Amino acid sequence: MRILIVGGGMGGTILANNLARRLAGEIRDGKVKLTMLSASDKHMYQPGLLYLAVGRMVPDDLYRDQRGLLEPGVEFHVDPVEEFRLDRNEVKTKGGKVHGYDILAIATGSRPMPEETPGLAENAEMFYTEESALKMFRRLQKFEGGKVVIAMGVPHKCPMAPLEIAFMLYDYFKDRGILDKTRIHYTYPIGRVHTLENVAKWAAPEMDRLGITYETLFNLKEVDGAKRIVKSEEGSETDYDLLITIPAHRGMEVIEKNNLGARGWIPTHRHRLNMEGRDNVYVLGDTTNLPISKAGSTAHFEAEALGENIAAIVKLGAPVRDYDGKVFCFIEAGKDRATYAMFDYQNPPQPRAPTRAVHWFKVAYNKLYWASARGLL
Amino acid sequence: MAARRIVDARGSFCPGPLMELIAAMKAAQVGDELEVLSTDKGSANDIPEWIHKVKHELIGTTEASGVWHIVVKKLK
């Protein structure tokens, strides 16, 4: 049995390690071959980019060697896939190598697309890549006050990021002593300050308390950099001195080029996680088209369900459990308080008031992540 | 006849049915109809509110067995 994992992010890595442990005997006996193909020999802790942008992490904190995160039973190649030949159960890599498979798992992730909104890439700061987060950090260092607008595209990775950056910027400006010269203005695409109703019920009064103003039903349409104005699809506009964006995302280009899914999102069964119409192709993490958060925890819980199921297919001939839509997201409410939201397809989150304890657990998780990627948490 | 695309947002708390619709609308062509499936009764209010504000067209809203079917048309 040949199991091929394409993508070395959180979902692919947890799945690979999960399977390597569950199928250790089969791998040792040569009955199973477990292979991962990735575009990089480095693994990035993507949630750390938020902290990098406000000077609370440095780039070294974000990376580990990918090979070192993987169990010995995983054959790892830095050679990204260029062609998915699903009818022949094989892929072809950039290096020209063809890998056949019996089971394929696709976890290629997503990419920020600020260039899809006119004027956005040239005029806004963001924190979704190392380069952009460092640029935002340097811009913040030079900022001496004015109106800071937070605006976002849809869909975006990490749905808590808009709130987190708003609250973290508040503390950042406070610590720098320029809060009295700074106004934070938060915009959001739907009719409340967060898509999770219970999170919005907590966050709106918190913004009121801190003096963070907000405008809802504001979908980014274009940015006029000369006039420093952001315009919305709904017809409103707001001026800015510093524009921070959470840009719209798409799935990876290789998914679109191979016609696996519109805008790079692969149609995926919400419980079994197989690609629609393909029984031996599974999808996890940001790459799915599922109506759930594009977040590391989603990839984590999907990988655990998928690991159990693929191992069961090898050992029993059939999967044994459904993915229930579970997501767990920390929500930083500033530099020293946090809360969290946990939910699934059936149960909405019930977030509690932010505490220092949850913040410190999040800080600990920023380190524990590497154990999580190894499949130990 | 323009295409009608299903936006299956049943069980979606985050990003939620309206966010799913906004994303799907971006990928749709002018004249396309989109049918949102939602298990959140709030969708029956917040989707029409957004459609009205952004000046697309609400075709209709029905409910069956706890699932709201909200059909909209992209106008611009």
| Token pair belonging to A221 | 């349409």
In three-state secondary structure terms, A280 is coil
In CATH, what class is A2-109+252-326?
alpha beta
Q: Which residues in chain B are contacts of A263 at CB distance < 8 A?
A: 27
Amino acid found at A180: D
- Between CA A18 and CA A38 the distance in angstroms is 17
Q: What global pTM score does this model have?
A: 0.96
The neighbouring-strand residues paired with A100 are: A90
When CB atoms are compared, the residue of B20, B49, B50 closest to A291 is: B20
Produce one character per residue of A5-22: b if its CB has 16 or more CB atoms within 10 Å, e if not.
bbbbbbbbbbbbbbbbeb
Residue range A108-129: average pLDDT? 98
Is there a contact between B12 and A291 if contact means CB atoms under 8 Å apart? Answer: yes
DSSP A262: G
Residue range A228-243: average pLDDT? 98
CB A238 within 8 A of CB A186: no
Average per-residue pLDDT in chain A? Answer: 97
- Between CA A93 and CA A95 the distance in angstroms is 5
Locate all alpha helices (DSSP H) within chain A, ordered by sequence: 10-22, 24-28, 48-53, 66-69, 120-123, 130-142, 161-176, 197-210, 253-257, 296-316, 356-373
Report in angstroms the alpha-carbon separations of A191 from A67, A163, B25.
45, 15, 17
Residue range A184-195: average pLDDT? 97
Residue range A108-127: average pLDDT? 98
Q: Which residue of B has its CA nearest to A268?
A: B8
- Between CA A34 and CA A18 the distance in angstroms is 11
CB pairs under 8 A between A and B: 78
User: Mutate which of A152, A190, A342 to test chain B, going by most B C-beta atoms within 10 A?
Assistant: A190
Query: Is residue A282 less than 8 Å (CB to CB) from chain B?
Result: no
In CATH, the architecture of B4-73 is 2-Layer Sandwich (3.30)
Q: Which residue has the tokens 């060697």?
A: A65
In three-state secondary structure terms, A301 is helix
CB A276 within 8 A of CB A267: yes
| Alpha-carbon torsion angle A22, A26, A30, A36, nearest 10 | -20
- For CATH 3.50.50.60, the residue range(s) in chain A are 2-109+252-326, 113-248
In CATH, the architecture of A113-248 is 3-Layer(bba) Sandwich (3.50)
Residue range A306-332: average pLDDT? 97
When CB atoms are compared, the residue of A154, A195, A345 closest to B11 is: A345
Is there a contact between A159 and B53 if contact means CB atoms under 8 Å apart? Answer: no
Rounded to whole angstroms, the maximal C-alpha distance in chain B is 33
Other C-beta atoms within 10 Å of A229: how many?
17
Other C-beta atoms within 10 Å of B55: how many?
11
What pLDDT score was predicted for residue A68?
Answer: 97
Amino acid found at A24: A
Residue A376 has pLDDT above 90, yes or no: no
Is there a contact between B22 and A189 if contact means CB atoms under 8 Å apart? Answer: yes
Residue A351 has pLDDT above 90, yes or no: no
Identify the burial level of A89 via C-beta atoms within 10 angstroms of its C-beta, where 0-12 means exposed, 13-18 middle and 19 or more buried: middle
- Between CA A143 and CA A145 the distance in angstroms is 6
What pLDDT score was predicted for residue B2?
Answer: 60
CB A326 within 8 A of CB A301: yes
- Between CA A349 and CA B14 the distance in angstroms is 10
Q: Which residue has the tokens 């699932």?
A: B67
When CB atoms are compared, the residue of A159, A197, A217 closest to B50 is: A217
In three-state secondary structure terms, A215 is strand
Residue range A152-173: average pLDDT? 97
Residues 6+ apart with CB under 8 A from A13: A36, A43, A66, A69, A70, A373, A374
CB A10 within 8 A of CB A300: yes
What pLDDT score was predicted for residue B4?
Answer: 85
